[in-house]
Amino acid sequence: MASFQSNIPLLFLLSLMAAVASASGGEFKLGKENSTHLHFYMHDILSQPNPTAFRVVKGPLKLPALPNFNFGDIFVIDDPLTEGPNSTSKLVGRAQGSYVFASQGSDGALLLTTNLVFKEGKYNGSTLSILSRDSIFAPVRELPVVGGTGIFRLARGYALLKTFSFNTTSGDAVLELDVYVMHH
């Protein structure tokens, strides 16, 4: 009982501090909402000599549909994003993040968590954040865009991901992305 009572002045002080802190803030104005469609390709290269994706954790269970990969594998990626499907095509950004083989089933579903970091033109320095399920054998996957920075501040939207090419032995893949975002 005594300790309960002795907490009251502290709680009072804390709520006073919170009130003072919020009193120093205020309203802010957002610019008009814009919508943007982006189209580019992502190169996820596991093979030598220039891999862009590295396995950092090897999972415990072999996947029947992809014998070179395991449930629980974690890859860290720094994949180039290019204008066209050829890796020599113009670089527009990078996908920096990770994916986890997160399904024990035959759908090869990944948990893909990545920032798209743009490097070109008015998008240079802006980012989009993707947190998604990527069921890699599906012809089209819908990935939620959960946020962004720079031009893409407060972004929300989705990306449609298609496999342009995939080598099931090496794991090398070229992916086509159409990203649709609303942002301020």
In this chain, which of 47, 62, 90, 156 binds ligand NAG, going by CB under 6 A?
47
d(CA 138, CA 101): 15
- SS3 assignment, position 61: strand
Does position 34 interact with ligand NAG (CB under 6 A)? The reply is yes
Does position 125 interact with ligand NAG (CB under 6 A)? The reply is yes
Does position 104 interact with ligand NAG (CB under 6 A)? The reply is no
In this chain, which of 13, 14, 62, 120 binds ligand NAG, going by CB under 6 A?
120
Residue in 178, 139, 145, 182 with CA at minimum distance from that of residue 160: 178
Does position 151 interact with ligand NAG (CB under 6 A)? The reply is yes
Does position 83 interact with ligand NAG (CB under 6 A)? The reply is no
Does position 88 interact with ligand NAG (CB under 6 A)? The reply is yes
Query: Could you tell me how far CA 14 lies from the centroid of its own chain?
Result: 37
d(CA 78, CA 53): 6
